[in-house]
Amino acid sequence: MCIEKLFLYINFENAGNIANLFEGNIEPNRIIEYLSALNHKKIEPEKTLIIFDEIQELPRALTSLKYFAEEKPEYAILINKKNSFTYNIKKYEKENFFMDYELMMNGNLKIGQKAPNFNATTTYGAKCLNDYKGKWLVFFSHPGDFTPVCTTEMIAFSKAYTYFQEMNTELLGLSIDSNSSHLAWMNDIYIRTGIILPFPIIADRSGEIARLYGMISKDISNTQTVRDVVIIDPEGIVRVILTYPLNVGRNITEIVRTVQALQMADCSKASTPANWVPNQPVIVPAPQTYPELEERQKYIEENNNGMSWYLSFKEPPQKCIESDKDKI
């Protein structure tokens, strides 16, 4: 995808001014002339894409950028009713804002991609994804404050928080409720249980971050987030995505185990089998050549540690075992 210079996102007020200026007849060439005058720089029509978008959601408006793949303009002008942003594409490409074409097209997050950055208001102050660089992050959404299932989850996450911290892992919650609502809910939980929620909760009133991370399922609700869990590694890569329905609470112990398994797999350069828990053997990577296959079969016969050449086990390296013991 070739995006070379500047991405302009014009709010509805400016769009209205443009409409009034042109007496309601919004012709692309006249808009380009107007914007050229505003920017004191000529914008070439053949290199400009004009998009009118009545949708009040930035991520959905961004889907219009699919035209970049074919038209390759230097400028894109989006006009809608909500926010006002000016993006320097080169800067945001470096920050991985436009790191993934499919994410722009469908709002789908994928395992293995760079997690999109964000800036957010939370119950512990302003946060952005880059604040968690060098740590594992369990980023999860909940449908709403003062709801029964969500309350049990928040309590369970709080009780497990020390386990996550021992694994160099932070927790970050999100819903579309306001920050005041989050604070009142936190206080209510504390009054009734004595438990303080030790992790931030994002107040995503616009739903922009939730949609960026695919946390809203339109078949369920256009506003409420489902129970998503996104596990992001210290390099900012999405490693696990879990989705639960509104009426089923998450198993926090399984989320702890999943982080442990990811860390063990990375440390031992191996895979973890079904139902793996810390201190158990891991799966040896399968051989890639026939001589390696023959050698693996002999190894299994001698050590009785596998079913076949493609499925054998080993004890993880001592450094990984010691690391796991520290986390239990």
Q: Does residue 63 surpass a pLDDT of 50?
A: no
Mean pLDDT for the stretch of residues 307-324: 86
265 belongs to a structural domain: no
Per-residue confidence (pLDDT) for residue 87, from 0 to 100: 37
Closest C-alpha to 139, from 185, 191, 174 = 174
User: What are the CA-CA distances from residue 76 to residues 32, 41, 239 (Å)?
Assistant: 11, 15, 32
Please check whether residues 231 and 203 belong to one and the same domain: yes
What are the structure tokens assigned to 91, written together? 């800067």
Give the span between the Cα atoms of 232 and 72, in whole angstroms: 32
Structural domain of residue 161, as residue ranges? 119-258
Question: Are 254 and 309 within one domain?
Answer: no
Q: How far apart are CA 228 and CA 238, in angstroms?
A: 13
Domain at 126, CATH number:
3.40.30.10
Whether residue 152 lies inside any domain: the answer is: yes
Beta strands in the chain (DSSP E): 6-10, 48-52, 75-79, 85-88, 119-122, 125-128, 136-141, 169-175, 201-203, 227-232, 238-244, 282-283, 306-308, 311-314
Q: What percent of the chain has pLDDT over 90?
A: 51
Same domain, 71 and 179: no
Is 17 among the domain residues?
A: yes
pLDDT band of 214, cuts 50, 70, 90: confident
Q: How many domains does the chain have?
A: 3
The DSSP-derived string for 221-247 is -SSS--EEEEEE-TTSBEEEEEEE-TT
In a domain, 209, yes or no: yes
Which of 57, 72, 106 terminates a domain? The answer is 106
In a domain, 263, yes or no: no
- Tens-digit pLDDT profile for residues 247-277: 999 999 999 999 999 999 999 999 999 999 9
1 belongs to a structural domain: no
Single out the residue in 258, 293, 309 at which a domain terminates: 258
Percent of the chain predicted with pLDDT > 70: 62
Name residue, tokens 């932070």.
170
The band of 139, judged by pLDDT with boundaries at 50, 70 and 90, is very high
* Gap between the Cα atoms of 272 and 265, Å rounded: 6
Query: Could you tell me if 184 and 225 lie in one domain?
Result: yes
Answer whether residue 140 shows pLDDT above 80.
yes
Taking only the tens place, the pLDDT of each residue in 166-211 is 999 999 999 989 999 999 999 999 999 999 999 999 999 888 888 8
For 304: left if phi > 0, alpha if psi spans -120 to 50, otherwise beta; the answer is left
> What pLDDT band is residue 90 in, cutting at 50, 70 and 90?
very low
Is 111 part of a structural domain of the chain? no
Of 2, 128, 150, 267, which is the active-site residue?
150
Instruction: State the pLDDT confidence band at 142, using cuts at 50, 70 and 90.
Output: very high
Residue 324 C-beta-side C-alpha neighbours within 13 Å: 26
For residues 157 and 247, membership in a common domain is answered with yes
Task: Give the single-character DSSP code of 114.
Answer: B
Contacts of 162 (CB under 8 A, 6+ apart): none
CA distance 305 to 285: 13
Question: Which one is predicted more confidently, 129 or 98?
Answer: 129
Last residue of a domain, one of 258, 285, 314: 258
Give domain status of residue 266, yes or no.
no
Question: Cα–Cα distance between 97 and 103 in angstroms, integer?
Answer: 10
- Is 150 an annotated catalytic residue? yes
Spell out the long-range contacts of 53-56 with Cβ–Cβ below 8 A and sequence spacing 24 or more.
53/78, 53/79, 53/80, 54/80, 54/81, 55/80, 56/80, 56/81, 56/82
Instruction: Please give the angle made by the CA atoms of 55, 61 and 67, to the nearest 5 degrees.
Output: 135
My answer on whether 275 and 252 are in the same domain is no
- Asked if 59 contacts 208 with a C-beta cutoff of 8 angstroms, the reply is yes
